[in-house]
Amino acid sequence: MKRKLHCLLLWSLLALVQTGYAQLDVIYNDLVWSDEFDTNGAVNSAKWHHQTQIPPGGNWYNGEVQHYTNRLDNSFVSNGNLHIVAKRETFTDQNVTKLFTSARLNSKFAFTYGRVDIRAKAPNAQGTWPALWLLGRNINEDGGFFDAVYGNTSWPACGEIDIMEHGIFPNQPLNYIGAAIHTPSSFGNTINKGGIQASDIAQNYHVYSMNWSPNQITFLLDGVAYYTYNPAVKNASTWPFNAEQYLLLNIAMGGFAGSIPSSYTQTSMIIDYVRVYQNTVPDTAAPLNFTATVGAVTSSTIQLLLNATDNSGTVSYTITYPGGTPQTVFGTSGQQRSVTMANLTPNTPYTFTITASDASGNQAANNPQQVNVSTVPVQGCAGTSNEAQQGTFTTGYNYLFETFGTDVRITFELLDTGRVGLVALLWRQSPFTEFQMTNTTGQTFTYTLTGQTPGATINYAVKFAYAGGLSVTRYFSYVVGSNCALELSSPDALSFQVLNPASHELLLQASLPIDKVAIHDMMGQEVLTAYTATNRIPIQALAPGLYLVTVYAEGQKRTQKVVITQP
């Protein structure tokens, strides 16, 4: 809840493991604290504290309008369920009179790391604000159970974990339940939140869960994870969750929950059980079979393939490299985890150091693994031209097409001088579209096309607009992923045909005598070069797949795609 602006057990464990295992980094198995609400009457005073003291100013937070009481009218156990009752009644306490009463229970149990399961029906009547949540045991909140001994930290520095709230999301439909994290880095109207649509929460029991490890906090509805909080940097501002927290159960009235209808009389939150799980047996087993290898490599990315096994079910991998920010990712035991290191420099060697550990800090025996790999050179082509399809160029322009994975960066520099108010627009030939290019320096402009298909041919030109006129370059055809595969036409241009698909040899027919043939794979790597005047190129050594064939003749070059099949 925001403070600012026996068979059932087995079934619960099985359901969570089957549906939520992949989203959780640590599985907690040992029941360490619970209340099954088996004894009728008042709540168990050994487990629960009624928080009734009004905060300074005579009102609860967020504009709420209720008194919290310790009366049986507002909280009691009956037939295996805890009932928290919010009702309309005039009630005076601490010399303050209010028109609504409810109950707010603090658990007398606090813990660090584990999973909470609460099976409950919650009210969804207008103006009600049911909440299942946690606060840091160190919060200095008068009237809280732990305040007298441990209360030395203000909210939100103590940390708050909201497992379930309803009624405070005006833009969401009825029965939308939310989870949230409040920390010094984001509190009140926090950005660290998630939500999910549930079936009628007042008529149906749901299991509201929170899985809290040293690495992340995950929220689940009926065993299905729907939101995980895992800040990249964990410090006092983003992660005050390395200390004990306690549970709170309550229904607030009004405030962020909106107006309360005049017809409202009372509603209840009915709680079947509250259970907290941890792993009580120390985990001393380190991850085994740790491997780190290289996957796909481009000019700006390197894929790392990581794998290890661990009895906890989850392995944590920490990756470092000179000049880079350390990165930690989680993988499922025994399943390969792919991590793509991005924004790297082309044609540059990198050394990645990777360690594997589990949530208990056990390190793999063969830590660390080092992977040495270089990014490939930039795939692209460049040149200078003064050809125009509209207007004219006096000196001309430089052009550059580069492929980075599935992105193509197009750069044009206007060499003509004296252009005032110069802007550049990238023109796509078909269907015609124009895009505003970014001026990087001087008269150089760039634009990046994302999500392109390797091997596909794209056709683009650039319009340079300036005071008093414009000049448009010719269209350039570029094969995505190729090196210098620009196709420029001229009266005696080179053209060629290739028998496609090909198997044991490549059969070519060219309009000019062939000087050289180069074959590249779809990653831009040259796999075969032939300096020959023949039109038959042996290709038995190439694996089946899609390739780019570039023919050179009389200073010109042309590229086509070819499918090579098994001989």
Q: What are the residue boundaries of the structural domains of the chain, listed by start?
A: 30-278, 288-375, 379-488, 496-565
Is pLDDT at 19 greater than 50 in this prediction?
no
Residues above pLDDT 90, as percent of the chain: 65
Is pLDDT at 405 greater than 80 in this prediction?
no
pLDDT band at 520 (very low <50, low <70, confident <90, very high): confident
Give mean pLDDT, residues 501-524.
78
pLDDT given at position 522? 66
What CATH number should be reported for the domain whose range is 288-375?
2.60.40.10
The SS3 assignment for 148 reads helix
Is pLDDT at 22 greater than 50 in this prediction?
no
Report which of residues 240 and 538 the model is more confident about. Answer: 240
Is pLDDT at 130 greater than 50 in this prediction?
yes
Report which of residues 193 and 501 the model is more confident about. Answer: 193
pLDDT given at position 270? 98
Give mean pLDDT, residues 23-47.
94
Lowest-pLDDT range of 51-60, 140-149, 355-364, 492-501: 492-501
Residues above pLDDT 70, as percent of the chain: 92
Q: Measured between alpha carbons, how far is 428 from 434 in angstroms, rounded to an integer?
A: 6
Is pLDDT at 320 greater than 80 in this prediction?
yes
Per CATH, the homologous superfamily of domain 379-488 is Immunoglobulins (2.60.40.10)
* Nearest Cα residue to 21 out of 240, 311, 428, 314: 314
pLDDT given at position 564? 85
**Most distant CA atoms of the chain, gap in Å:** 103
- Average pLDDT in the chain: 88
Give mean pLDDT, residues 414-441.
93
- The model's pLDDT over 110-128, given as tens digits with 9 standing for 90+, comes to 999 999 999 999 999 999 9
pLDDT given at position 507? 80
**18 phi, psi to nearest 5 deg:** -70, -35
Give mean pLDDT, residues 219-243.
94
Pair of tokens at residue 396: 């001309």
pLDDT given at position 493? 59
Give mean pLDDT, residues 458-487.
84
Lowest-pLDDT range of 28-32, 190-194, 304-308, 558-562: 558-562
Give mean pLDDT, residues 521-537.
74
Fold matches, 288-375 and 379-488: yes
pLDDT given at position 535? 73
Q: Measured between alpha carbons, how far is 201 from 31 in angstroms, rounded to an integer?
A: 26
DSSP 63-88: GB-EEE--STTTEEEETTEEEEEEEE
Contact 215, 359 (CB under 8 A): yes
Residue 511 amino acid letter = S
Q: Residue 544 has what DSSP assignment?
A: S
Is pLDDT at 500 greater than 90 in this prediction?
no
DSSP 277-324: EE--S---PPPEEEEEEEEEE-SS-EEEEEEEE-TTSEEEEEEE-TTS
Is pLDDT at 488 greater than 60 in this prediction?
no
Give mean pLDDT, residues 498-525.
78
Contact 423, 465 (CB under 8 A): yes
The CATH class, in words, for 496-565 is mainly beta
- The model's pLDDT over 265-277, given as tens digits with 9 standing for 90+, comes to 999 999 999 999 9
CATH 2.60.120.200 fits 30-278, yes or no: yes
